[in-house]
Amino acid sequence: MFFILSKILAFLFTPLIWIIALLLFSVFSKNAKRKKRTLVSAVLMLILLSNSFLFDECMRIWEVPAARDSELQPQYDAGIILSGVLSYDHSFDRLQFNRRNDRLMQAIELYKTGRIKKLFFTGGSGSLVYKENKESQMVKRFLTSIGIPEQDIIIEDESNNTHENAQFSKIILMHNFNHGKFLLITSAFHMRRAVACFYKQEIIATPYSVDRYSGPRKYQFDHMFIPNSETLFNWDSLVHEVIGYLVYKAVGYC
């Protein structure tokens, strides 16, 4: 039930949905003053939410900064990689990687350079429809196909959200490692909630933020003043994550 409710909340709090709702209210409102106010509000929201500089500054406040190599220990027993990096194309029997695949790519680099000994991927389906498509299993298939030994890949394939990632991972991690040292690898905007959930499960892992939206400040004209449609949709990640963190806090997941 919580999984379904989270999907509904994610939809309702999508900024684009707010703009569409305001525009529809403006179109169908019979009150001239209210019609004008809602139309102006929709336009202002569209302008603000498509501003890349504003988005970067808000994301900069929320994201957990990336760790420098000098801040890390020489080696960790495992890198804990959170799901959300790919989807499955049934028609071609092919994996399709998305932006968050930076989580997996950087983990592979950490493994290849000897920073982490094992790759531990946590995540089940994450879908309301295709429950049989376990993301961890698909990632394992990919990793073995590029030559990573199967004994260096550990998966958890039943979790549907960050709380369950931590809860189910604890059992496997405690079984495979005795007081192990871990790197927690996920997107910078998601790291705050991830660390809190794993800490709640008494898993102490060093944060390794990847897939950062905010980087060095860019004082370029187009970045600061020209509306960007991609930025409008990027707000979904931030709004969803802030609400998710607050809800997790309220129910005691982190």
- Give residue 6's pLDDT: 64
What distance, in Å, lies between the first and last C-alpha atoms of the chain? Answer: 19
Homologous superfamily of 69-210 in CATH?
HUPs (3.40.50.620)
- Rounded mean pLDDT of 89-101? 90
- pLDDT band of residue 7 (cuts 50, 70, 90) is low
C-alpha atoms less than 13 angstroms from C-alpha of 238 in its C-beta half-sphere: 21
Of 29-33, 157-161, 169-173, least confident by mean pLDDT is 29-33
Supply 82's token pair: 């959170």
- Give residue 90's pLDDT: 82
Rounded to the nearest 10°, the torsion over CA 64, 192, 231, 88 is 120
- Give residue 133's pLDDT: 79
- pLDDT band of residue 2 (cuts 50, 70, 90) is low
- Give residue 89's pLDDT: 86
pLDDT at residue 77 is higher than 70: yes
- Rounded mean pLDDT of 231-254? 93
**What value does the mean pLDDT of the chain take?**
92
pLDDT at residue 222 is higher than 70: yes
- Rounded mean pLDDT of 86-107? 92
For the chain, the structural domain boundaries read 2-63+226-251, 69-210
- What DSSP assignment string belongs to 168-222? HHHHHHHHH-SS--EEEEEEHHHHHHHHHHHHHTT--EEEEEES-S--S----HH
- Give residue 73's pLDDT: 95
- Rounded mean pLDDT of 6-20? 79
User: Reduced to 3 DSSP states, what percent helix, strand and coil does the chain have, rounded to the nearest 5?
Assistant: 55, 15, 30
For the stretch 175-207, pLDDT in tens is: 999 889 999 999 999 999 999 999 999 999 999
pLDDT at residue 129 is higher than 70: no
Whole-number Å distance between alpha carbons of 214 and 102: 15
